[in-house]
Amino acid sequence: MWTGGSLAFVLIGASGAAYLYYEHLNGNITSVSDDGAGTGGFSKDRAINILLVGTDKRTGKGNEGYGDKNSAGHADTTLVLHVSKDRTNATVLSIPRDLITDIPDCPTTQEDGSEKVIPGTQRTRFNNSLGQEDRTPSCTMRTITELTGLKMDHFMVADFNAVKTLTSAVGGVDVCLAKDIKDPDSKLDLPKGEHTIEGEEALAFVRTRHSVGFGGDLSRIELQQQFLGSMLRKLKSNDTLTSPSKMIKLAEAGTKALTVDSQISTIKKLADLGAELGKFDTKNLTFATVPVVDNPAEKVKATVVLKEPQAQQLFAMVRDDVSLSDVKQQKKKEKAAEAARLKGTKAPASEVRVRILNGGAVAGSAQETLSWLQVQEGVTKSENAGNAEQPLAKTTLEYGPDEADQARRLAEIMGLSGAALKPGKSVTNSQGVPAMTLTLGKDFEGAGVPLTTPAKVPEDVQKATADKVECAK
């Protein structure tokens, strides 16, 4: 809602009035620190990761009637928005609230400016990462990073009122029901068919779960993804973007409804971020739910755990900026070129000469890899060359023109993808002979652990696209 001149300052008239309105909107924004849990802010030259949290804290007029009115709230609905580096596509990962995970220690800035470390909790529900034990959104950011390996650039937190005010500001969201729904818990009462909903009715729609699917949180997530896809289509429609009155209403509602991190606490910063988020086509936005299974430790099923290896494969795709939507032709060409690097003859392991650098992996990783390569894989012409000059996000193998066969063999041994292979030049090792350079990046998880990113979404991952209309069942 921050794109396309969305604030419509031209309506304000005189520049002085425009400035006053600008300051008024700035005054609406509530922000809190990310306590160092994020990257420090998005950048135009890399992918963007934003944590979106819907809290079930009963703040705001009319919400006390939903029960549990004194609760500090939880991370009730959690989404990770990943926008690709080239801005052609985006992925939204839904994190089930009842997922059993580890919440790390969380340094948190107090109201007086002092810092308090909120102790972490092992093997607990994900939704306890916010609100409980005085945890702030920065704690949810840290939990997401530990769970997925993705570091967040920013966060936005919405309460019940955000759903009500934003849907009204946009003029309602179109939804479709495949059956009549009457849910006394969420207070949703709608007949089968298509509807345009806003306000209290929209809140009831995103809260209902007993009346859709299997009646659990995973079914509600699927419903919310359909709702968000429809709302995004409405936000990016000409009907909205060309309506100054709607854009003003959205500016008012958005600045009042959301709590954001202090890195995007002004209209200018939000507009800069919005300009980047607005570049991808809605048809290339894919919703995916983190794959889970019922917790085997419970007799009465109330929580879930990650379904492996599908969960790690999905996380790897997002970390490596692989689109879950149809990849554009250019992307296909790049993937084909990367795959071609792995094809061809492979040198014997005993002839592979490589220097190993630690470029951001856990301390000791270079020596661990060296021992593994020499003792278990027969790569005896290898050496530990210490630390790289600069850390790398991803592991790379640079090789010279005459070392392609060696690179292919080492890639096979290490489980490296074609993207990790970097044709370049060889360097001289400690023996005075040419050698390749293997730099272990932050993605390195241990000797023998493959680093190949999946090329397609794992089976059994719940997935939907933002441009497709679906009816809730």
Q: Please compute the mean of the pLDDT values over residues 340-365 and round it to a whole number.
A: 92
* Radius of gyration for the chain, computed over Cα atoms and rounded to the nearest angstrom: 25
The residue count for the chain: 473
Residues 423 and 279 in one domain: no
Residue 397's pLDDT band (boundaries 50, 70, 90)?
very high
Clarify whether residues 290 and 368 are in a common domain. no
Cα 410 to its chain centre, rounded Å, is: 31
Q: Does the residue 87 lie in any domain?
A: yes
Q: Which of 273, 295, 327 is the last residue of a domain?
A: 327
Residues 123 and 241 in one domain: yes
Whether residues 38 and 94 fall in one domain: yes
More confident residue, 189 or 471: 189
Residues 349 and 295 in one domain: no
Tell me which of 327, 347, 381 is where a domain ends.
Answer: 327
Q: What is the CATH number of the domain that holds 424?
A: 3.30.70
Q: What is the pLDDT of residue 340?
A: 72
| Residue 404 located in a structural domain | yes
H/E stretch holding 232: helix 217-235
Share of the chain residues as helix, strand and coil, in percent rounded to the nearest 5? 35, 25, 40
For 155-165, the pLDDT digits (tens) are: 999 888 888 88
pTM: 0.76
Tell me what pLDDT residue 60 has. Answer: 53
Q: Does 74 map to a domain?
A: yes
Pair 49, 152 in one domain: yes
**Separation of CA 23 from chain center:** 31
Give pLDDT tens digits for 299-328.
888 999 999 989 988 998 899 888 887 545
Distances (CA, A) of 409 to 292, 404, 446: 35, 9, 18
Q: Are 122 and 151 within one domain?
A: yes
Domain range for 118:
9-158+236-327
**pLDDT(334) > 70:** no
Q: Are residues 311 and 355 in the same domain?
A: no
Nearest to 284 by CA among 455, 91, 453: 91
Q: How far, in Å, CA of 287 to CA of 294, rounded? A: 21
Q: Specify the CATH number for the domain of residue 148.
A: 3.30.420.590
The whole-angstrom separation of Cα 429 and Cα 385 is 9
Residue 268 lies in a domain: yes
- Omega of the bond leading into 458 within 30 degrees of 0 (cis): no
Let me know if residue 64 belongs to a domain. yes
pLDDT at 2: 41
- Is residue 419, in this structure, part of any structural domain at all? yes
> 311 and 436 in one domain?
no
Rounded distance, CA 224 to CA 222, Å? 5
Please tell me the least confidently modeled range out of 260-264, 296-300, 340-344: 340-344
The Cα–Cα gap between 419 and 92 comes to 24
The answer to whether residues 284 and 417 belong to one domain is no
DSSP string, 346-415: ---GGG--EEEEESSSPTTHHHHHHHHHHHTS---SEEEEEE-SS--SS-EEEE-TT-HHHHHHHHHHHT
| Separation CA 50–CA 44 (nearest Å) | 14
In a domain, 295, yes or no: yes
Task: Identify whether 455 is part of a domain.
Answer: no
Q: How far apart are CA 180 and CA 157, in angstroms?
A: 31
Phi-psi region of 205 (alpha: psi -120 to 50; beta: other; left: phi over 0): alpha
Answer yes or no: do 240 and 95 share one domain: yes
The confidence score (pLDDT) of residue 49 equals 97
Please tell me the least confidently modeled range out of 190-199, 352-361, 458-467.
458-467
Q: Are 390 and 241 in a shared domain?
A: no
Res. 4 pLDDT band, cuts 50 70 90: very low
Query: What is the pLDDT of the chain when averaged over all its residues?
Result: 85
Total domains, the chain: 2
Residue 333 CB coordination number (10 Å): 11
